[in-house]
Structure 1
Amino acid sequence: MESASKLRCSAVLLIVFLCFISIHSCNSEKVLLVPAPFADSHWMALAHIGRALVDKGHTVAVVVSEDIVGKRRAEWPDFQFEAFQDQGIQARELFASGYDYYRNYCALLLGNSNLLARLRASRFSVVVADPQSPCGAILASKIDSRVPLVAVMRVDQFFAEKVTGVPLPMSYVPFLGSDFTDDMSFVQRLQNTVMHTVLPVIARWGASSLLDELVRKHIGENETLESVMTRTDLWLYQTDNVLDFPRPSMPNTVQVGGLFVQEAAPLTEDMEAFVQSSGDDGVIVVSFGSMVKMMPEEKREIFAAALARLRQKVVWRYVGEKPAGLGSNTKLMGWLPQNDLLAHPKTRAFVTHAGSNGLYEALHHGVPMVCLPLFADQPANAARVVARGLGVTLDFSTVTADQLYQAILHVLTNNSYRETAARLSRLHRDQPQSPMERAVWWIEHVIQHGRLPHLRARAVELPWYQYYLLDVAAFLLSVCSAVLGTVWCGCSLVCRKCCGCAKRSGKLKSQ
């Protein structure tokens, strides 16, 4: 009797387990990530989204070149990796022309028949790509044009207005490469108009001239890079109106600013001891991201001298020769738990290059900033920090030790920065979903319902002359010209008639 009862219990447990496995497998979908070939910060955005999808039970595969697949696999063991031979172009052409580099990289990827066969056989439910490298959109169309495509981006690409359908009014939407705000002077609006008009045209021409041939070869004779990118179903923008400036959007553009931010983990024992040793003065965190780990000798001595004058303890992410003027209050680290340090109650300020990931971590945890932007979107990010009252900005190329010291001291002693940071942190946190939860929800929404044509603006399909209503303007101009011409001719005819009658009347009177 007892053995029969145990057998029944075992059978019930087995059935429950099999049901769980069945439900889990039914909800599991295959996701393909196509990162840009370089820029770790861009890869990290896709990787964190992939990790969140894995946690939801999905299978995530990543397309990478063979030279980095070992590193990626060690860092992200939950992912599957599809590698291809890039023939060393990543090391050889890293500083070459951007689109020329992407063309060569994409040509090798798309020309790998074995890889393409494996990707097609996998039957992915969605492709998530970084549009900085157009290869993701081309690859998605190559393996299966019916598979939904999701783009994850921080700033507008040069194709953005055309491929997303989102209008970018030049009167208050600053160009992505400028440090303008949404409150521009006349001269700034003039410059903004020129940059918005000229530079994207040049960039689109350059990209099309290099990549359209590749698109025609692999996708179709009538296809272009622009036509492929317009098929993107969902655009996940790493922005938030708490920090970024409000602007138009479309139903398939979703804000997910702050993807990287996580709940803080406890610091290691030695790090916690260092932080606690700061007392009431607190800690300054200094980091210039994953791409800038070393500085020229002159610049590192400037930073060391400025930081040594502070009463606070300093944690500086730096790899290289130890500065001669390094103060006893400064701790150098090759890697630091940036999010956890920014969340610590003793952290007083963040000295940063204004990369978007660090900015959103500081925003989330309410830490004022001193920005020294270097390139790309960093000057624009720093301008937003200043405009929102979160901190100050300095010129990295000309900054002196005294300027850096005074800027940090200003942020530390002026309570408005910390109060503003705390207020904006509360606004940023007050959301029904975290940015990552929102990103995952939308990706699963795309997976469940397939492509989402009802969310895509018709603007992406219109020729440029229709989009800007040039045909309508030409028609109205023609009508106005015709009406004015008719009126002019009528008036001229009447005038001639009147003049002719007056002349004949004058002759009769003289006779």
Structure 2
Amino acid sequence: MDLADVMYRASLVLLNSHSSTNLAVPYVPNMIDIGGFHVKSPTKLPEDLQEFLDNSKEGVIYFSLGSNLKVKVLWKWEEDVWSGQPPNVRLGKWLPQQDILAHPNLKLFITHSGLLSTIEIIYHGVPVLAIPIAGDQKLNAERVVNQGFGLKLRFADLTEELLLETINELLTNPKYAVNAKKRSEVFHDRMTKPLDTAMYWVEYVIRHGGAPHLRIAGIDLSWYQYFLLDVILIFSVTSVIVLYISLKLINRLLLGCCRRKKQKIKTN
């Protein structure tokens, strides 16, 4: 099936967004927000990782790009060991990100700011340092800054001094943690969980035979009607006619005035 057919025949559009993660925009009835549907309730971490986080009373930074810090650093890395690895840094090829974000000792998440990671950050209410690389990451990082629960750095601008300065700002200024918790409260304040919302609307569409009553009339308009070309054409033609008649009337009035003036001059 052609993509255009899918777009125009879709009975339901489930959007991985929410007013807590994206800007508020107008939707049509068959567009439903289910942002965060993939986020699961936290589960117990592996014993060694749980112990690492529990014993980090001074706080933990997850996926840091720096190492000269007093707080401990949990870094997702492709190697198990690292030459010159500081004692406060723990490496792991795979880490249960959502469960780590839920731990109360986590103080900061440094990330590329992908969409799913950004949603998980908001879900758990964690301050963030966004270092976007490509795609939608730059837009997500900008939203993090605008919503006040994190900062962003351009990858090309990274220096040891700038990185440490930014991390220290995020760790010592309480406004980022406060804003992260507020944003998380907005995320969680829903009548139903995102996945339950998705299930309801899928079943709703099935129950009502595709729910054609949710489709907007604009989908069935021809292209020239959709872009209002017929209205623009009528308006343009009408305007030209009115302008033409007006010019004709003005021209006649001016000619009449000129004739009367000439007659007066001849009479005198």
User: TM (normalized to structure 1)?
Assistant: 0.50
Residue 323 (structure 1) shift: 4.3
The 8 Å contact of residues 283 and 349 in structure 1, kept in 2 or not, is answered as yes
The 8 Å contact of residues 79 and 91 in structure 2, kept in 1 or not, is answered as no
Instruction: Tell me how far apart the structure 1 counterparts of residues 32 and 140 of structure 2 sit (CA, whole Å).
Output: 19
The question of 1:495 aligning with 2:240 is answered no
The question of 1:439 aligning with 2:217 is answered no
Residue in 1 that maps onto 2:32: 254
CA RMSD for the aligned pairs?
Answer: 1.8
The 8 Å contact of residues 236 and 439 in structure 1, kept in 2 or not, is answered as yes
For structure 1, the residue ranges without an aligned partner over 5 or more in a row are 1-137, 139-214, 216-224, 288-302
Matched to 1:315, the amino acid is L
Matches within 5 A, 1:292-303: 303=65
Matched to 1:345, the amino acid is P
Judged with a 3 Å threshold, the aligned counterparts in structure 2 of structure 1 residues 321 and 338 are, in CA distance, closer, same or farther, namely: closer
The 8 Å contact of residues 237 and 254 in structure 1, kept in 2 or not, is answered as yes
The question of 1:355 aligning with 2:114 is answered yes
Residue 505 (structure 1) shift: 4.3
The 8 Å contact of residues 237 and 257 in structure 1, kept in 2 or not, is answered as yes
Residue in 1 that maps onto 2:74: 315
Matched to 1:270, the amino acid is D
Residue in 2 that maps onto 1:340: 99
Residue in 2 that maps onto 1:420: 179
Instruction: Tell me how far apart the structure 2 counterparts of residues 355 and 319 of structure 1 sit (CA, whole Å).
Output: 19
The 8 Å contact of residues 75 and 91 in structure 2, kept in 1 or not, is answered as yes
Residue 471 (structure 1) shift: 2.2
The count of residues paired between Structure 1 and Structure 2 equals: 268
Residue 506 (structure 1) shift: 3.1
Judged with a 3 Å threshold, the aligned counterparts in structure 2 of structure 1 residues 388 and 374 are, in CA distance, closer, same or farther, namely: same
Matched to 1:370, the amino acid is L
The 8 Å contact of residues 356 and 378 in structure 1, kept in 2 or not, is answered as yes
Residue in 1 that maps onto 2:141: 382
Calculate percent identity across the aligned residue pairs: 35
Residue in 2 that maps onto 1:82: none
Matched to 1:460, the amino acid is I
Matched to 1:483, the amino acid is V
Judged with a 3 Å threshold, the aligned counterparts in structure 2 of structure 1 residues 461 and 325 are, in CA distance, closer, same or farther, namely: farther
The equivalent position to 1:241 in structure 2, one of 3, 13, 19, is 19
1:331 is paired with a residue whose SS is strand
Matches within 5 A, 1:191-210: none
Residue 322 (structure 1) shift: 4.8
Matches within 5 A, 1:166-245: 215=2, 225-245=3-23
Residue 257 (structure 1) shift: 1.0
Instruction: Tell me how far apart the structure 2 counterparts of residues 365 and 379 of structure 1 sit (CA, whole Å).
Output: 21
Residue 249 (structure 1) shift: 0.9
The 8 Å contact of residues 109 and 127 in structure 2, kept in 1 or not, is answered as yes
Residue in 2 that maps onto 1:455: 214
Instruction: Tell me how far apart the structure 2 counterparts of residues 505 and 359 of structure 1 sit (CA, whole Å).
Output: 85
The 8 Å contact of residues 80 and 93 in structure 2, kept in 1 or not, is answered as no
For structure 2, the residue ranges without an aligned partner over 5 or more in a row are none
The question of 1:270 aligning with 2:29 is answered no
Residue 341 (structure 1) shift: 0.7
The equivalent position to 2:63 in structure 1, one of 286, 290, 294, is 286
CA distances 1:459-486 after superposition (whole Å, capped 9, x unpaired): 2232343223232122112212211211
CA distances 1:352-402 after superposition (whole Å, capped 9, x unpaired): 111111111111111110101111111111111111111000112331222
The 8 Å contact of residues 80 and 92 in structure 2, kept in 1 or not, is answered as no
Matches within 5 A, 1:155-170: none
The 8 Å contact of residues 129 and 151 in structure 2, kept in 1 or not, is answered as yes
Instruction: Tell me how far apart the structure 2 counterparts of residues 248 and 232 of structure 1 sit (CA, whole Å).
Output: 18
Instruction: Tell me how far apart the structure 2 counterparts of residues 314 and 381 of structure 1 sit (CA, whole Å).
Output: 24
Relative contact order (alpha carbons < 8 A, sep ≥ 6): 1 or 2 greater?
A: 2
2:155 is paired with a residue whose SS is coil
Instruction: Tell me how far apart the structure 2 counterparts of residues 344 and 327 of structure 1 sit (CA, whole Å).
Output: 22
Instruction: Tell me how far apart the structure 2 counterparts of residues 430 and 236 of structure 1 sit (CA, whole Å).
Output: 19
User: TM (normalized to structure 2)?
Assistant: 0.93
1:230 is paired with a residue whose SS is helix
Residue 453 (structure 1) shift: 1.7
The 8 Å contact of residues 390 and 417 in structure 1, kept in 2 or not, is answered as yes
1:382 is paired with a residue whose SS is helix
Residue 407 (structure 1) shift: 1.5
Instruction: Tell me how far apart the structure 2 counterparts of residues 405 and 447 of structure 1 sit (CA, whole Å).
Output: 54
Instruction: Tell me how far apart the structure 1 counterparts of residues 196 and 51 of structure 2 sit (CA, whole Å).
Output: 34
1:264 is paired with a residue whose SS is coil
The 8 Å contact of residues 243 and 388 in structure 1, kept in 2 or not, is answered as no
Residue 325 (structure 1) shift: 4.3
The equivalent position to 1:430 in structure 2, one of 184, 189, 200, is 189
Instruction: Tell me how far apart the structure 2 counterparts of residues 501 and 423 of structure 1 sit (CA, whole Å).
Output: 80
The question of 1:472 aligning with 2:250 is answered no
